[in-house]
Amino acid sequence: MNQEIDDVLKSVLEAKARGRKQLAALPIERKLEILEKLRDRSEAMAPLRARHRQPTQILTLVATGAQQPISLLAGSQKQRVYLQSQGRLNTAQRSATLSATSVQQTGWKIVPPHDLLGAKIQALEQKDFHQAL
Amino acid sequence: MKATLEVIEKMRADGIIGNYAIGGAVGATVYLEPLATFDIDIFISFKKVQPGLLVSLSPIYEYLQAKGYQSVEEHIMIEGWKVQFLPTHDALLDEALSAAVRVSIYDAETWVMTAEHLMAIALKLGRPKDYNRIDQFISEEAFDETYLMPILQRHGLIEKWNAHRQKIL
């Protein structure tokens, strides 16, 4: 019985690997069409997923004098920034993604760019949140 | 996506951005099976524009908004695709940008990070989805180990690589 299960599992994994290789070998244009379909399907499922997700705060860094959102060189590829707040910070808040949502709605303190320069950013890059905050 | 890539290439031609490279899932899709993603990650260097730790994306936003493209959260919607412009901020990303390869997609010329740099970046980020991507590169034999290893060495990622290989073997 165990051998039978092993054989089925092996053939399923081999078939999957073959399928992946076939997909990888497609012309790039065809692959991007598939990627686009995957994205559309995923976006269609988004409301369903959102129902199971914990609410998270999204905020924008509205830096003084800035006309547009600003990208900060924090410790990740993505445009993430760690801001000061009036109270305690949880993990989600510390790594809130910059977005177009008004910072006022979140109750966050607006941090002018000069506060985010120099030592603070360096501390952030070293992931030393406490020092940075 | 063709129209999106053409807009980005035009931005380079117009001097709004310098050299750029597609990374993330779209970049990886050049080498692997299609990967699910919501956006296109475009890595750019701001070094010539504005040195320092704080980087403004204003020129990009202004250029694109003048052409009718709107920002959506941290993205800009260009011809139906959410595009995120990400400044390179460490030596690995700088190198990945310099080593990007020219790829023709739908007859549009664009630049994509090498498979090996995409793997090194994924290894450095180290989120579950990054490790999944590394495993795909490995299982699909879609990389050149002789090119990858020096990259990992240069950027102090050998130990992490060995630990991961040990886990999956």
- The predicted-structure confidence for A49-68, as pLDDT tens digits, reads as follows 555 543 333 333 333 333 33
pTM: 0.70
Among B36, B58, B72, select the one facing A38 at the smallest CB separation.
Answer: B36
* Average pLDDT for B11-32: 93
* Average pLDDT for A64-73: 35
pLDDT at A95 over 70: no
Is B93's CB within 8 Å of A77's CB? Answer: yes
Give the pLDDT confidence score for residue A46 in this predicted structure.
Answer: 67
Q: Which amino acid is at A71?
A: S
* Average pLDDT for B101-127: 92
- Mean pLDDT computed over every residue of chain B: 88
Give the pLDDT confidence score for residue A20 in this predicted structure.
Answer: 86
- Which uninterrupted H or E stretch holds B76? strand B75-78
* Average pLDDT for B116-127: 93
Residue with tokens 């609410």: A55
Q: Does A58 touch chain B if contact means CB atoms closer than 8 Å?
A: yes
Q: Which amino acid is at B109?
A: E
Among B5, B4, B1, B97, smallest CA distance to A31 is for B1
Is B73's CB within 8 Å of A58's CB? Answer: yes
Per-residue confidence band for B23, with pLDDT thresholds at 50, 70 and 90: very high
Choice between B61 and B26, residue whose per-residue pLDDT is larger: B26
pLDDT at B43 over 50: yes
Q: How far apart are CA A54 and CA A47, in angstroms?
A: 13
pLDDT at B33 over 70: yes
Q: What is the gyration radius of the CA atoms in chain A, in angstroms?
A: 22
Residues in chain B with CB shorter than 8 Å from the CB of A35 are: 25-26, 29, 34-37
Is A70's CB within 8 Å of B30's CB? Answer: no
pLDDT at A96 over 50: no
Is B31's CB within 8 Å of A23's CB? Answer: no
3-state secondary structure of A34: helix
Q: How many CB atoms lie within 10 A of CB B147?
A: 13
* Average pLDDT for B127-146: 91
**pLDDT single digits (tens) B51-110:** 444 456 677 888 998 999 988 766 889 999 999 888 787 889 999 999 999 999 888 889
Give the pLDDT confidence score for residue A89 in this predicted structure.
Answer: 34
The percentage of chain A sitting over the pLDDT mark of 90, rounded to a whole number, equals: 9
Residues in chain A with CB shorter than 8 Å from the CB of B55 are: 70-73
Q: How far apart are CA A96 and CA A59, in angstroms?
A: 7
Q: CA B23: distance to chain centroid?
A: 2
Rounded-to-10 torsion of CA A74, A75, A79, A82: -60
